[in-house]
Structure 1
Amino acid sequence: MKQKGFRKAHDEIADAKQAARRMASAGSLDEAEREWRVFLEHFARMFNKLHLACRDDPRAFPWYGRKKHEREQDETLVYLLQARHSNEHSLDDITEQAPSFLSIGAAGEEVIIRELRIDGKGNLSGAVSGKPKVTITKGPAKLKLLPVTNRGVTYQPPKEELVAELEATPWRICETAIAYAEQLLQEASQFLDK
């Protein structure tokens, strides 16, 4: 395997990591959305560089073929590739900005709000009562992954592995993808030219 191609693949994952970190600490959803798109580009480019590094090596190329097949079968890796393609080759949105929310009670419950205060940090206080006991739920604004369609095929965002109903966040997917890529590059290093 060509050292130069391996280094470039490694650099792409380093850039993808940086984009993921910037996304996680973004000051706005617009900024997080931009970094998600940057992450997708670098993650896809890592595979392209690895392919170029392996293609003329009779030891590395069969290994790369197996990894390419793995990428085509894994729900998260397929979604990442297709989201990148959709972002690059269409005008469709790949994310949606879900606003923050405040929920008081449940549908059909009686709720009496005597006083409700929300301070500058989003903390709630006040006098709320109802039957049965009233619950107050608040949630932050978040970036939601959308299904993406390429060539007439729609790809759903992957679900969290442990809780199937829970949608995966871009940050969690980045963590999973980066861990996979680091393992992939570790395996690839066995084929480096001496």
Structure 2
Amino acid sequence: MNININTDDITQYSNLPVYPLVVELRAASDAIHKMSEISVGNFQLFEIEWQKFLQSIDRFWNKFKACFYDKKGWQTFESKIVQKRKKDQLLNYLSQARNVTEHTISPVVKDWKANLKATSLNGGVHLRWDPFDRHLLTVINRGQKYPPPQMHLGKPMSFYRAQYKNEPEPVVAAILAMEFYIEWMNKASEKFFPMYSEVQK
């Protein structure tokens, strides 16, 4: 059985041990889609969906650990993921950004500034503006600064941004995080619940 978190009625999988994890992945996926749909639209709504994503992916991580903690070999398996979460700029940033949104009122993303400029050209007007984006902000948690990630899994963020040219920075970061966690959830399911098939993004 394959589970598609984007299109399936996930309630039909409520008997699976990973169901609580799938619920959080669906919520995170929904937030990503809504951010993408909002695009250059209402920034406040975009910010709300970004915070929803951060909360859902954090709850996924906590439930992920709870789902497998009593399985033989889990501690060794978990240590690999924990190490990646700590060392990887993007994963660590998202964890800290979630903490900031949960415990402070500091913003973690800023709206697009077009910086519209008009110049005369051949009797007409030439307009220029900065490309659309909504940038992640440096977050401060317990006095420690965490700047927006420049690398993820050994590759520069520019590499990933090129693959999602029309998406703002938070959406790209969220997509990459989803890919990472789904991959490791599937690895864990295969190892500890081999009778169940993988989750699809």
State yes or no: 1:11 paired with 2:23: yes
Aligned to 1:23: 35
State yes or no: 1:147 paired with 2:161: no
CA shift, 1:75, in A, is: 0.4
State yes or no: 1:39 paired with 2:53: yes
Alignment partners' CA distance in 2, 1:183 and 1:57: 19
CA shift, 1:5, in A, is: 5.3
SS of alignment partner, residue 178 of structure 2:
helix
Alignment partners' CA distance in 1, 2:35 and 2:64: 25
Deviates more, 1:138-147 or 1:39-48: 138-147
Question: In 2, are the aligned partners of 1:94 and 1:148 still within 8 Å (CA)?
Answer: yes
- Alpha carbons of structure 1 residues 85 and 68: separation in structure 2 relative to 1, 3 Å: same
Return 5+ residue gaps in structure 1 as ranges.
105-110, 116-126, 129-134
Aligned to 1:112: 120
Alignment partners' CA distance in 2, 1:189 and 1:17: 20
State yes or no: 1:71 paired with 2:106: no
* 1:1-194 alignment runs, 5 A limit: 6-26=18-38, 27-104=41-118, 111-112=119-120, 127-128=124-125, 136-139=127-130, 142-159=133-150, 161=156, 163=158, 169-190=169-190, 191-192=192-193
CA shift, 1:113, in A, is: 5.3
CA shift, 1:188, in A, is: 1.1
- Alpha carbons of structure 1 residues 87 and 143: separation in structure 2 relative to 1, 3 Å: same
* Greater strand fraction, Structure 1 or Structure 2: 1
SS of alignment partner, residue 187 of structure 1:
helix
CA shift, 1:92, in A, is: 1.2
| Count of matched residue positions in the alignment of Structure 1 and Structure 2 | 167
1:106-141 Cα deviation digits (max 9, x unpaired): xxxxx53576xxxxxxxxxxx14xxxxxx7432465
Query: Percent same amino acid at aligned positions?
Result: 25
- Alpha carbons of structure 1 residues 67 and 10: separation in structure 2 relative to 1, 3 Å: same
- Alpha carbons of structure 1 residues 50 and 4: separation in structure 2 relative to 1, 3 Å: farther
Amino acid aligned to 1:183: E
Question: In 2, are the aligned partners of 1:10 and 1:185 still within 8 Å (CA)?
Answer: no
Alignment partners' CA distance in 2, 1:69 and 1:163: 23
Question: In 1, are the aligned partners of 2:149 and 2:157 still within 8 Å (CA)?
Answer: no
Alignment partners' CA distance in 1, 2:30 and 2:120: 47
TM-score, normalised to structure 1, is 0.76
Structure number with larger C-alpha Rg = 1
Alignment partners' CA distance in 2, 1:20 and 1:103: 32
SS of alignment partner, residue 135 of structure 2:
strand
Return 5+ residue gaps in structure 2 as ranges.
1-14, 162-167, 196-201
Alignment partners' CA distance in 1, 2:194 and 2:186: 14
Alignment partners' CA distance in 1, 2:139 and 2:178: 21
